[in-house]
Structure 1
């Protein structure tokens, strides 16, 4: 499009590895190929609320060395829905018009938003309300965005979780223990099942498949009878108790956060089987660090493709990955299809084929 001269880019939601690769690719393509100006918007949509908007002008030199850096150098936030933004006095205020005004104040012709399904839903609503040209890129370590087979950050998170399983093998065997690794996964067990299979876990528990403590303990007992003195369990943080209760904690601000299913399982296993059990919670370690080569590659391909969509005048689209190709789909379709682990998927069949206890 000849009219495109200035685009913005922001990262929204939780951080992950691979975001800087996207920012770098967008800048390289927009400037190097099309001669556009690129503005990095700081702290997600919060940067557009500032007056003047909080932005960083991007050029090749500024982004050239960020490919291998974790997180996002633009900053991000996963708090504060702009349509019901929490104010210091406790009130909720609709600040969407401030964000829209920020977009137009900067003279942006289009914007690229990198986020998960929640962030994309908010950005799309803002774009529709304010006449903003929007293209999005899927980012989530949970890999739960619909239609795309892979999102930025997932591969690195799986690599980190797999390394943790690898390391736990040795201490588990040394002490004849049951070792439990609790990994992230808001409502989907993709990290758990991928890292569990890759790391050789004996038990993998994900929120999509029910389990019983009795059958889990039977699996551990079978291993002992086979002369195997230790076991490894990988569990997604969103797994519920056997009774179906969510295991979470409330922070000082009143927000509920997953966490604690690993300790619940450890207590139950110790009581029912007498096995010495230890728990490792990876938490935000899965979000940080140097991005894997795949996340760098995917981020680079997504960034270039997003800029090309803008050049073609194709907005309200999300780039994605399917059948070894970059694709683009409507944002509405992408966020309408939340992607959990399919109990009939190849990963589940593989785990069961390897003798891993998954539940049921």
Structure 2
């Protein structure tokens, strides 16, 4: 589930802090999310990232580099950057790893962390490394929250079926389990609000979004 994916990414950031600091490096962690930046945003905030790059806020690599240079002036010879796989620069597009023909989901994103890492190494003058978590975010032991919420979803889905209410999706509205007709949600993305509280909190902590 989502909470588990965020927990895995956050743990990876905790581990990367150690090697980044000891070797004076920039570490760019690429996380999943497709066209939205929820995992990157929440993991970056929880894991103490210095910059978070998400699809909803196109970035200027020079502004990210400036953030890292400011840290160096303050005596911090390392930085952590979280990059959502769908992140894109102001003047560019998302990085597509491959296109699979005759697939319902032909666009396979991947490679943006490597691109960001290479650019930052040139601009900042610090050695940089890219790390891609990939499918590690989809496995492992689920968090307690994901175990509980999935159980609640399952119970609600059975209730809907027993009531003959087909064509609905179980949802979480605040702390309440509910449902909505599938036609109201199919094809729609729940995007990060660039003016939302999570982004504002991250910026207040000094985290750069490259904007």
Kept in 1: contact 2:168–2:181 (CA 8 A): yes
Kept in 2: contact 1:192–1:234 (CA 8 A): yes
Higher relative CO (Cα under 8 Å, sequence separation at least 6) belongs to 2
**Residue of structure 1 in register with 2:72 after alignment:** 224
**Residue of structure 2 in register with 1:169 after alignment:** 17
**Which among 247, 262, 266 is matched to residue 95 of structure 2?**
247
**Residue of structure 2 in register with 1:210 after alignment:** 58
**Residue of structure 2 in register with 1:131 after alignment:** none
Alignment partners' CA distance in 2, 1:178 and 1:296:
35
What are the within-5 Å matches in structure 2 for residues 91-170 of structure 1?
153-170=1-18
What are the within-5 Å matches in structure 2 for residues 293-332 of structure 1?
293-332=144-183
How far off its partner does 1:185 sit? 1.0
Kept in 1: contact 2:100–2:108 (CA 8 A): no
How far off its partner does 1:358 sit? 1.0
Kept in 2: contact 1:241–1:261 (CA 8 A): no
The count of residues paired between Structure 1 and Structure 2 equals 208
How far off its partner does 1:242 sit? 4.5
TM-score, reference length from structure 1? 0.56
1:345 is the counterpart of 2:202 = no
Q: Deviations over 1:27-52 (max 9, x none)?
A: xxxxxxxxxxxxxxxxxxxxxxxxxx
Kept in 2: contact 1:241–1:264 (CA 8 A): no
Q: Partner of 2:185: helix, strand, or coil?
A: helix
Alignment partners' CA distance in 2, 1:336 and 1:195:
25
Alignment partners' CA distance in 2, 1:175 and 1:351:
26
Give the structure with higher Rg (CA).
Answer: 1
Q: Deviations over 1:210-234 (max 9, x none)?
A: 2111111100011111111110000
Q: Deviations over 1:99-156 (max 9, x none)?
A: xxxxxxxxxxxxxxxxxxxxxxxxxxxxxxxxxxxxxxxxxxxxxxxxxxxxxx1111
1:183 is the counterpart of 2:183 = no
How far off its partner does 1:201 sit? 0.3
Q: Partner of 1:249: helix, strand, or coil?
A: strand
Alignment partners' CA distance in 2, 1:241 and 1:247:
10
Q: Partner of 2:129: helix, strand, or coil?
A: strand
Kept in 1: contact 2:117–2:130 (CA 8 A): yes
Kept in 1: contact 2:58–2:89 (CA 8 A): no
> Structure 1 residues 319, 256: CA separation in 2 closer, same or farther (over 3 Å shift)?
closer
Q: Partner of 2:52: helix, strand, or coil?
A: strand
TM-score, reference length from structure 2? 0.94
How far off its partner does 1:253 sit? 6.2
In the TM superposition, structure 1's runs of 4+ consecutive aligned residues that sit over 6 Å from their partners are 251-254
Q: CA RMSD in A?
A: 1.5
1:282 is the counterpart of 2:133 = yes
**Which among 108, 112, 117 is matched to residue 266 of structure 1?**
117
**Residue of structure 2 in register with 1:52 after alignment:** none
> Structure 1 residues 336, 249: CA separation in 2 closer, same or farther (over 3 Å shift)?
closer
Gaps of 5+ in 2: none
> Structure 1 residues 303, 347: CA separation in 2 closer, same or farther (over 3 Å shift)?
same
What are the within-5 Å matches in structure 2 for residues 35-74 of structure 1?
none
**Residue of structure 2 in register with 1:257 after alignment:** 108
Alignment partners' CA distance in 1, 2:124 and 2:164:
62
**Residue of structure 2 in register with 1:112 after alignment:** none
Alignment partners' CA distance in 1, 2:165 and 2:89:
46
